[in-house]
Amino acid sequence: MTAEAYSMTSSGDDWVPFEVGVVRWLRQDDDVTSGIWRCTTEEQPDVHEAEFEMNETVMILKGRVRVEIVDGPTVELGVGDCASFVKGTVGRWTLLEDVEEFFIYS
């Protein structure tokens, strides 16, 4: 049985290591994965290229990031900005400042 509701508080300290940086998971099941990702420019000083394994929607909570889609647009996101990326595309992520991002994989 899946949960009827998912929640987390802003004051939680349950960060766990991620590929780069750390993450706090809000939801992880067969349908949706979501949480908050935090990363510093020291942890990711260079461009990070990766294929989107799922559709990914993000909202920047702190900092700034640039995402260049290979053979597509480049978006620069700051606090309050959102973007959604399609499964199978390749993105090149550059942290312009330390970043905290809410994300949803679907």
CATH of the domain at 65: 2.60.120.10
Structural domain contains residue 11: no
pLDDT in tens, 41-50: 999 999 999 9
Strand partners, 99: 39
Domain annotation covers residue 36: yes
| pLDDT band per the 50, 70, 90 thresholds, residue 12 | confident
Specify the number of domains making up the chain.
1
**Cα dihedral sign for 18, 57, 35, 9?**
positive
pLDDT tens for residues 54-64?
999 999 999 99
Domain that holds residue 77: 19-105
Tell me whether residue 72 is in a domain: yes
What is the pLDDT averaged over residues 21-31?
Answer: 94
More confident residue, 21 or 3: 21
